[in-house]
Structure 1
Amino acid sequence: MNMHGTRRLFRGGTLGLAGLALLAIPAAAADLPKVAIIATGGTIAMKLDPVTQAPVPALSGEDLVAAVPKLKDIASISVTEFSNVPSDYMGPDRWPDLVRRVESVLADPGTRGAVVLHGTDTLDQTAYFLDLTLKTEKPVVLVGAQRNASDHDADGPRNLLNAVRQILAEGATGMGVTVTLNHRINAAREVRKTHTSNVETFDSGDAGILGYVDEDRVVFSRKSLRRQTLPLPERMPRIDLVAMYAGADGSQVRHAAESGAEAIVVEAYGWGNVNAPMHDAIKAAVERGVPVIIATKVYDGRALPVYGFKGGGSTLRKAGAVFAGDLTPDKARILGLVALPQSKDAGALQAVFDR
């Protein structure tokens, strides 16, 4: 707005320099790109309780934004308070509503992207659920913190600033949902938490990071080629996760199948191997009509039907099990949550997991 336009607003009256400055601030803010922030809770929103001296939920999304004054210089920020819970409380009962909330804020054509503030324990799972079900090319970045807001070297503010910078960067669209902490950009499908406390906790294994939020600019190196979008289920199925362990007798698999699980993910060894009792329990579950998905607890590599001993992957495939490839057991369960309402057929499920 020029000086003549400013005076016309005041119907010919005079305007001092102080008044002009007050008008200039909103005008400048209106020119900044719009970024939405959705707060869900987690360590990034925690402070030390003065009585227990343990971190507890304490800060709102507005509080977290206020702690990063540089944000106002690069973006016009809107904040949505979705929840304020530890990420251990996040799951299928909250994820569909979060998808709808993100879609709602991104429906504004002027909004460039969304940052979801989240605890790190289930951050990679929430990111993958969003990546599977959101129908947008706009960037959605999940961030959290390993250190709570009471720590003198809290990492939350820098992670939040970097997420907004990523959204505004050239090339940010079409990358899918990402997890960005400690400057490193990871694809939702491939990332997992690898350390309980270190700020360098999220890693994408063999796939590698997508890029890096550097001091001067955001550098993207690649895109994830294993992404897919599936309909958001009207009802979330019950899928249990059962671990293989030395001496397992299969009772947990049988209990899951007999108590109402609609599918079971088995966290197997190596290429996807279990012992003989687990094999028999998995075979019985499949014969009962409960799909069983085999994932590996090994960090890198794929679950494949290779070994021929009873309980080896080849025998599990013959028993009707589905193999999760390189998805972690948690991620295999999430893909199952979205895919199972479309079909319980093993062949159809295997096709989804192979994409």
Structure 2
Amino acid sequence: MNPGDRVRVDRGTATYEGVLMPSTTADHLVVKLDGGYNVGVDRADANVDVLETDSYDVESAQDGDSESEITFEDDLPTIALISTGGTIASTVDYRTGAVTAQFDAEDVLRAVPELAGRANYRGRVVANILSENMTPDVWTDLAEAVHEEIERGADGVVVMHGTDTMQYTAAALSFTLDTPVPVVFTGSQRSADRPSSDNVMNAVCAVEAAKAEHSEVLVCMHETESDDTCALHRGTRVRKNHTSRRDAFETVGAEPLGEVEWESGEVSFRREVADRDAVELDIHADLATDVELVKFVPGRSAETLDLAADASGLVLEGTGLGHVNTEWIEKIEALVDDGTTVVMTSQCLEGRVCDRVYDTGRDLLEAGVVEAGDTLPATAYVKLMWALSNVESVEETMRRPIAGELQERSVPWT
């Protein structure tokens, strides 16, 4: 018997039927049950019957070329699937029991048969990492890969990404790419090994969103805990607000741009979106990596700012309307005088920075701090990296919207 065979395992009074998976020990069998869970069985006293050979392909596409191409049908749109790793393309490490990223885009196609018939697919791997290992260099590589796929004729792009830092990468592509077609990020809060996995629905909804008539950079994830709709969030206004819920992602300061209905695949928008082919394809992928993001907390010494002494840019997460301890102001002024662009955002999830209300805020403005309005701190961090490398007036750019990151007004919504 070999991994991939369908087997029935009898041990004592228990019977397990499923697919034999790879195991790193000689003493145990690992069987993927039909419900999605994996069970480890001690080989001792176990009787195994092979029901079907090679019933399931357990080999990773990474064993071959990192690019794959699926048979094309002329009447279907072409969607580029780009994998960076993450839970949506993960499986279980049978030695440790941990979830590890080890599948590429072609593996996702094999794992999600519901994608068949919806589009033609081209798959490629940009990275195979968990999202906590994401770097600005990978953002640049990803932007270049997306640019290449669109240049080759892709009608839309789906980026499969780990959820923990997806908002940073979605923001990065929002600034580095002028795209005439949809670019849709998706991921999974729960791996495919779990019956409650959201990978199938998220992947299918992301493909439908990438086929739709718009040219936004979006994040497509479960809108509720139920399998009913996926929300479409603008890449510069989205935030992961829960560690494990399937509906962890939310648009901050507004409702999502739209949704995808799971059963029908229908895409609808609630607010105005950029039309497909509204801009010419272009890329500005240079990023200044010497930018720091610092969160002010009570009692933190002003010496904290020394880490930005040689930085080109610094984003501060201030309290309320955008405040820090008054003892920080002298150091902030010195950073500005030395050429560091210092940008103020708020730790509050809703509302905007306004440093004209209290004395501390006015002192910060006098010290040279740039207000970022209601730009999210993570988005401001990425935007400042991009602005320092691509525009002449960085301060003016941080004060105006480039990719929907800065809203004209902050108002309550329901």
**Short-chain TM bin:** 0.7 to 0.9
TM-score, scaled to structure 1: 0.84
The equivalent position to 2:383 in structure 1, one of 314, 335, 341, is 335
Partner Cα separation in structure 2 for residue 275 and residue 179 of structure 1: 36
Amino acid at match of 1:147: R
Partner Cα separation in structure 2 for residue 338 and residue 119 of structure 1: 22
**Shift in alpha-carbon separation, 1:308–1:261, aligned structure 2, 3 A:** same
Partner Cα separation in structure 1 for residue 368 and residue 124 of structure 2: 45
Pair 1:129-2:172 in alignment: yes
Partner Cα separation in structure 1 for residue 92 and residue 220 of structure 2: 25
Where 2:121 maps in the other structure, the secondary structure is strand
**Shift in alpha-carbon separation, 1:241–1:167, aligned structure 2, 3 A:** same
Unaligned runs of 5+ in 2: 1-69, 223-229, 408-414
**Does structure 2 conserve the Cα–Cα contact (< 8 Å) formed by 1:230 and 1:339?**
no
* Aligned residue runs from structure 1 range 158-307, under 5 A: 158-169=201-212, 172-174=213-215, 176-182=216-222, 183-214=230-261, 215-216=263-264, 217-223=266-272, 232-234=284-286, 236-257=288-309, 260-307=310-357
Equivalent position of 2:83 in the other structure: 39
Pair 1:138-2:181 in alignment: yes
Kindly state the Cα deviation for residue 194 of structure 1 after the two structures are TM-superposed. Answer: 0.4
Kindly state the Cα deviation for residue 116 of structure 1 after the two structures are TM-superposed. Answer: 0.2
Where 1:70 maps in the other structure, the secondary structure is helix
Partner Cα separation in structure 1 for residue 258 and residue 398 of structure 2: 30
Q: 1:169-208: CA deviations, max 9, x gaps?
A: 3xx323x100000110111111111000001111112221
Partner Cα separation in structure 1 for residue 282 and residue 387 of structure 2: 7
Q: 1:267-320: CA deviations, max 9, x gaps?
A: 1111101111222221221122211111111111111213333xx222211110
Where 2:100 maps in the other structure, the secondary structure is strand
Amino acid at match of 1:130: L
Where 1:179 maps in the other structure, the secondary structure is strand
Kindly state the Cα deviation for residue 150 of structure 1 after the two structures are TM-superposed. Answer: 1.5
**Does structure 2 conserve the Cα–Cα contact (< 8 Å) formed by 1:118 and 1:143?**
yes
Amino acid at match of 1:50: Y
**Does structure 1 conserve the Cα–Cα contact (< 8 Å) formed by 2:287 and 2:388?**
no
Unaligned runs of 5+ in 1: 1-25
**Shift in alpha-carbon separation, 1:343–1:81, aligned structure 2, 3 A:** closer
TM-score, scaled to structure 2: 0.73
**Shift in alpha-carbon separation, 1:252–1:326, aligned structure 2, 3 A:** same
Kindly state the Cα deviation for residue 237 of structure 1 after the two structures are TM-superposed. Answer: 3.6
**Shift in alpha-carbon separation, 1:235–1:328, aligned structure 2, 3 A:** closer
Identical residues among aligned pairs (%):
32
Partner Cα separation in structure 1 for residue 157 and residue 370 of structure 2: 34
Amino acid at match of 2:267: V
* Aligned residue runs from structure 1 range 316-355, under 5 A: 316-342=364-390, 347-352=395-400
Where 1:29 maps in the other structure, the secondary structure is coil
Amino acid at match of 1:39: S
Pair 1:156-2:199 in alignment: yes
Equivalent position of 1:147 in the other structure: 190
Partner Cα separation in structure 2 for residue 264 and residue 290 of structure 1: 7
Partner Cα separation in structure 2 for residue 123 and residue 196 of structure 1: 13
Q: Which has the higher helix share?
A: 1
Where 1:281 maps in the other structure, the secondary structure is helix
Equivalent position of 2:144 in the other structure: 100
**Shift in alpha-carbon separation, 1:346–1:63, aligned structure 2, 3 A:** closer
How well do the aligned residues superpose, as a CA RMSD in angstroms? 2.3
**Shift in alpha-carbon separation, 1:349–1:138, aligned structure 2, 3 A:** closer
Q: 1:61-114: CA deviations, max 9, x gaps?
A: 1111112212121111111111110111112111111111001011123x2100
Counting matched residue pairs gives: 320
**Does structure 1 conserve the Cα–Cα contact (< 8 Å) formed by 2:80 and 2:121?**
yes
